[in-house]
Amino acid sequence: MFIMTSGKRLLARVAPFARIAKGIAHPQRLAILYLLAHDPMWPQDIARHLPIPQSLVAHHLKAMVTSGWLKKRREGKYTMYAVNKKVIRQLPLLLIGTPLWREI
């Protein structure tokens, strides 16, 4: 028999995932995640793949680093961005223990 979490316990369980989800809740951020899933990149390289200015790419990168999706590495005056694999590995934890998780 499955017992569903509800009320304050449910909200406490999903709160960390809401912060993480907010970090990619935009089509351009999802596109950046897709690009970085292939290889780490410099902001100017990301901007070449998207129809947006580099300043907007920088805005999205900052939000994605803050929410934990990306890691950054300084090399001189430049910054390289890569996907934070730890966050990707945490996503299934939201559904573990649910009937859906047992099906997949």
Q: What's the whole-model pTM score?
A: 0.84
Instruction: Give pLDDT tens digits for 12-35.
Output: 888 888 888 999 999 999 999 999
- The CATH number fitting domain 8-103, selected from 3.30.470.30, 1.10.10.10, 1.10.3720.10, 3.40.50.1170: 1.10.10.10
Q: Encode pLDDT of 41-98 as tens digits.
A: 999 999 999 999 999 999 999 999 999 999 999 999 999 999 999 998 988 888 887 8
pLDDT given for residue 103 in this prediction: 84
Give the phi and the psi of residue 41 in degrees, each rounded to 5: -145, 160
Q: Where are the domains of the chain?
A: 8-103
Taking the C-alpha atoms of residue 94 and residue 74, their distance in angstroms, rounded to an integer, is 32
**pLDDT, position 2:** 60
Task: Quote the pLDDT of residue 36.
Answer: 97
